A and B are shown apart, each in its own frame.
Chain A
């Protein structure tokens, strides 16, 4: 098939409607979706979960599950309607003319096949005239093109031997294998760390400029949109609410929903201003050396170290990989404050949080709460930390028991929480529900009947009802939609303050940490790289890693 390079847009979606049919019920997923994609253009599609943005991508790729039925409209590629093509014609488009990049770089690659072989098989499938030798040469070219150093040497390596950013580059290389006209990138950077996200976005922009490929970039992140897209489609509940050039959407959004989305994006302040939170001066006012710690510490952790043992049987010799774990980590938490821990994946921040909560052990180190020392080498109940410290986890959909009603979950927290030790407990499920803005009729429901935001509120209620002195919140908002994130952050901050609970807030999002925390620790490779008051870290710290993290953020949302 030849594509008309001049007149018709490369891809045209007109009045597309889709419904999801399962059994007797039928739910509309998309209605009246129309847009054009030109050559060499990056079109962003933004929306929250359930907006139907991924479904558009799958519809264009022809990868919709059979339960999805098209109700109206057409998708035409190069002037030819795709729903009039045979299954063979559509399959011939996949990979060759329309390629895909998915969110999860780990899951996108077959763990048992070397990356070279995975690129090679794609080249061979897309161009049957190629010899094995030629396919190999082309694969090495592709690896080099997406910025993998020493492509000949890395060719035979397996996916787990690459970092997350490199894996996503390899996925992009596979997408480029057939020299496609369109790449559909579904949340391509959501699973990546901030500094790597920027590199991958830059790579996509370069590829578009060099090769003239068009990209449909599906994301929930306004930051990504602001960095590289030319035009944006804002979607909500299966409908396009607004479509325009990116600069217009960012500067003069017309629709209220777009405005709300933009307003919900946390902004990072990097200029010194009046301290937004009090208590920031209590810890290490200026110097990261931590002088002037006058306020009594609620929790002090010292010298926590942990090395992760390699998994499984070891059949190879030598060759040490990346080292994970914690090396001599210490933090100090003043009573009643919120302290942030920031770091990329693999920096050890989650492990450290779990050790603080008594859910994990470390062979060396100690934790002192109110002058009482705990041995972190002992696990669970024996360490005594369980119960004194509560935890709020990242993904509320997997941290609630699906077989228990909300009421049972919360009652359990009261029964086995602080009130099990104290007689004067004031814990009350109903009043907690009211405080957290949860309707009381939710009590009889099971977790799957709640929205993500509701579930995370239940998780907060569960932690608070145990009446802990400390709470460790591990990325409590990153599994939630942007608009819900802001509510949860505010709620968490208020309820913590009301009860004078000390909190550790673990996150990779600098802006949320700035909004929440009076002091910040930056973790890198299992060590504390930088620490100090929030103002110090974001405005004045000259640690190069801290600066890298701040600069990797979308410029648009930093002020």
Chain B
């Protein structure tokens, strides 16, 4: 019964989050401007055209009424049709999702193991050259802006050396009704630089967390006891220290991954990567309200799911959470 109440609690939180997000998003995009001017041709349109378009889009109604209509449609699974592309907003979002998903996943697949490993080694060797270098490098990696990092990667990795392409998705292959870059060698080649741009700050973040966790855990009595009972230091590191530092690391991985799904816009723009972040920013600029709302809803749901996964991981990892009664 504890489990059911936990799940119910989580679901009601998620529901509240969605409501709050949709209200804020709706009011926000409403106050940015009137989308009708992006729909009609402003040079040639007569006042009648504008009025007609306004009525057609339902923009003549008071905002609360527009919101009610929006919610009503969403409940029926319809986010509306993009003002610009004249495609269903949800379909448009889904067509951009594979690009973002593969980019974020590959970036995290690089960042999580590498960051954790670097942190473990540094935490074992506090004050050594390796440790100090890692600390310095991580501060730099966290403080440089992502656009600069992306441009430097293009400069070094593409323009000066010509090793990697500077943008675009390259050749894609079809899987599950979507196009994926990571399935072809050329597509993977195109993924390298943008994935690095997303991974580098995360490597730094995860390495710092992992380092401080390692220092803390290795100062605890049980690591000393493990040495006293004759275990090798390798085994202590991987079987005892690593599980004990992983809770904060997994939390951060979950949050950062959610962030990359939605807000990797700078990297996506610079590398002309047609992903969700780019779609969101473009839609906001074009006041494409249905697409903005669809994207925001997706992001909120993604965060809720990621957090649930992180909680599940805690339970798998930590018997005190799993078995508490």
Contacts and interface: CB of A to CB of B under 8 A. Distances in A.
Interface string B225-248: 111111110010001100110000
A520 B36 CA distance: 81
Interface residues of A, number: 44
Contacts of B311: 313
Interface in B300-315: 311, 314-315
Interface stretch (B59-67, B103-111, B316-324): B316-324
B221 interface: yes
A319 B323 contact: yes
A122 B230 CA distance: 7
B177 interface: no
A314 interface: yes
Contact of A314 (B3, B222, B319): B3
Given A102-B224, A314-B2, A174 B229 contact: yes
Q: Among A311, A312, A317, which residue has the most Cβ atoms of chain B within 10 A?
A: A312
B23 to A, nearest CB: 28
Given A112-B244, A125-B235, A63 B318 contact: no
B6 interface: yes
Interface string A129-151: 00000000000000000000000
A125 B322 contact: no
Contact of B231 (A108, A112, A122, A310): A122
Given A110-B222, A158-B319, A94 B325 contact: no
A125 B320 contact: no
A273 interface: no
Nearest to B227: A63
Of the candidates B5, B224, B314, B317, the one having the most CB atoms from chain A within 10 angstroms of its own CB is B224
A91 B225 CA distance: 13
Interface in A45-78: 61, 63
Interface in A306-328: 310-321
A317 B1 contact: yes
Contact of A113 (B2, B221, B232, B240): B240
A310 B324 contact: yes
A253 to B, nearest CB: 32
A507 B235 CA distance: 41
Interface in A94-114: 94-96, 99-100, 102-104, 107-114
Interface string A152-168: 00000010110000000
A316 B239 contact: no
Contacts of A63: 224, 227-228
A99 B228 contact: yes
B143 to A, nearest CB: 28
A54 to B, nearest CB: 11
A316 B230 contact: no
B322 A315 contact: yes
A94 B230 contact: yes
Interface string B22-55: 0000000000000000000000000000000000
18 contacts: A63-B228, A95-B229, A96-B230, A99-B229, A100-B225, A102-B221, A104-B221, A110-B240, A111-B222, A158-B323, A160-B319, A177-B229, A310-B325, A312-B314, A314-B324, A315-B6, A315-B321, A316-B3
